Structure 1
Amino acid sequence: MSVEEFEQFVWPHLSKGRRGPARKLSAHTIFNYILKALYLGCQWKELPIGKDRHGRPRSITRASIDAFRRWEADGCFDAIFESSVSRLHCDDRLDTRIIHGDGTTSAAKKGGDNLGFSGHKKVKGCKAVALCDRNCNVIAPFVSAPGNRNESPLLREALARLTRIARAVGLELRGTVVSLDGVYDCRRNRKAIFNRGMVPNINANSRGRKAQKRGRKALFDPAIFKERFRTIERVFAWEDKFRRLLLRFERISQLHYALKTLAYTMINLRHYCHS
């Protein structure tokens, strides 16, 4: 990320230290090191580093890692993500006529907190539920949970965060169609979508009912459901290019989720950052 892009999208939302000695590395350099670790998936000490003005190789000091942890604790990455959604909305790049949602699982072979064994994936890790628009822009902060949790209850938490960020950026979601697969087919999820003025388009799951439901059939448009393979599934495919997220190496879940939030932010900023 160039200096101009950093000052425009990132710097206003980072917490600045008021005490102590000045950092040897600028905030722009530290942030680019974090992005490099996110893309390459290597350890901090193995990052390919440049040289300073004297021709000596730079060193990734403890202060750089502490800056990343401080920004995570201060909620800076969440603020950067919300700013990217607001910028997309102001530039009329969001198409929220249809919102697609789905979950993804990250394997954690090194252990850590907030983990669980998923019998469907045959892996121990954590999962997240995200929502995106028709242009593959992530518009809501994802909801995380251990791998053994069912994804269906997580949708109601994701809808609450979607409503909050839509209210913050001035996004109108009345009449928006929410397209989901059969995992989220339940009465409480449909009611939660209806109560927010949106229309559910959920593929019916026959295993969720013991008998045929009486009355009018629920709305389901196969053409809308087919779009998810070039929207939310494409977003998860773009997420895989961040090699740090293919396997979860962070034992502290908040650090892993901060990197995932940063990855979704970079997906949203692809319209503006081309360096």
Structure 2
Amino acid sequence: MAGSQRGQAIPTQLSLAQFEAFVLPHLSRGSRGPAPKLGLHKIFNYILRLLYMGCQWKELPIEKDGEGRPEIHHTRIYSAFRRWDVDGCMDAIFTGSVLRLHQDNLLDITVIHGDGTTTAAKKGGDNIGFSGHKKVKGDKVVAICDRNCNVIAPFVSAPGNRNESPLLREALPKLRRIAKAVGFDLHGRTVSLDGGYDCRPNCKAIFNQGMIPNINPNSRSRKTPKRGRKPLIDPAIFEERFNTIERLFGWEDKFRRLLLRFDRLSQLHYAFKTLAYTMINLRHFCRS
């Protein structure tokens, strides 16, 4: 059922048991330098707190130790976050969340929804451009989810001035790789998209992946009907996107770090976004 009401409380902190089950197996550990004062569980929760609050690293509220001093310096948390990002830990945690959803039969991939979202970059940085449609300077991503608002593939990022339609052809191979890694079959699945993706190369790419396109026709201001075969579209499936992919982007806005992009390095911004999508997937297992 699209837009299921089951477990929509997006977690912003993980208990020790949840951390050991979903995160710890995918984290790398530093081999040099002094040992961290805190355990990995608490460091990871500080990163989640920053993602949720959207503050600067130096403004991160850090608890006091027995002597009244901060129990850890914010630069140590930042260094751990950078190391995990470079080592590919964030992508591994995300893939692990999709695997767990598949194992617990919480994925409904009979219909796959995709769409793009744009984030304004107020401080500049790399991989940004001016979006004439949104009238902002920033970047965009194209995400893919199932019928239960679970993100099932790594997103594709691009500057804000790029057209979203070609990005879909970059996202489909990533969807295929995650399906192979997790173990679910994409053959015969329906891919639902809006009119911005209505073009022959996209339909061909979807058919080549063994799936069926369900794309809302884009008239492109034609005054007469387009010649040729009429597109096959199920309006009921297309209407689901407002309860799936649009709801997913609404849940993403819960994490204030992603409302506006203040990270000049796009790699850090995308690591936070991957972590937010992971938390959305883990909502089924982290309900209070």
1:50 to 60, 63, 66: 63
CA distance in 2 between counterparts of 1:221 and 1:34 reads 42
Matching residue of 2:178: 165
> In the TM superposition, what whole-angstrom CA distance separates every residue of 1:200-259 from its partner, at most 9, and x where no partner exists?
000011118797443321111111000000000000000000000000010000000000
Deviation at 1:30, TM superposition (A): 1.1
Structure 1 residues 166, 232: closer, same or farther in 2, change over 3 A? same
TM-score (norm 2): 0.92
TM-score (norm 1): 0.96
> In the TM superposition, what whole-angstrom CA distance separates every residue of 1:39-75 from its partner, at most 9, and x where no partner exists?
0111111122223355543243422211101111111
Matching residue of 2:38: 25
CA distance in 2 between counterparts of 1:117 and 1:89 reads 38
Deviation at 1:24, TM superposition (A): 1.3
> In the TM superposition, what whole-angstrom CA distance separates every residue of 1:77-124 from its partner, at most 9, and x where no partner exists?
000000000000000000000011000000001110000000110000
Matching residue of 2:3: none
CA distance in 2 between counterparts of 1:106 and 1:61 reads 26
What do you get for the CA RMSD once the two structures are aligned? 1.5
Structure 1 residues 25, 201: closer, same or farther in 2, change over 3 A? same
2:242 to 222, 229, 240: 229
1:41 paired with 2:54, answer yes
* Unaligned segments of structure 1, at least 5 residues: none
Matching residue of 1:128: 141
- Kept in 1: contact 2:115–2:194 (CA 8 A): yes
Q: Which amino acid aligns with 2:164?
A: E
- Kept in 2: contact 1:186–1:208 (CA 8 A): no
Deviation at 1:20, TM superposition (A): 2.2
Matching residue of 1:114: 127
CA distance in 2 between counterparts of 1:66 and 1:20 reads 12
- Kept in 2: contact 1:44–1:60 (CA 8 A): no
- Kept in 2: contact 1:185–1:208 (CA 8 A): no
Question: Paired residues, what number?
Answer: 275
- Kept in 1: contact 2:113–2:146 (CA 8 A): yes
Deviation at 1:153, TM superposition (A): 0.4
CA distance in 2 between counterparts of 1:31 and 1:219 reads 46
1:80 paired with 2:93, answer yes
1:67 paired with 2:77, answer no
- Kept in 1: contact 2:37–2:72 (CA 8 A): no
* Unaligned segments of structure 2, at least 5 residues: 1-13
Q: Which amino acid aligns with 2:272?
A: L
CA distance in 1 between counterparts of 2:108 and 2:209 reads 18
Q: Which amino acid aligns with 1:200?
A: P
CA distance in 1 between counterparts of 2:24 and 2:192 reads 35
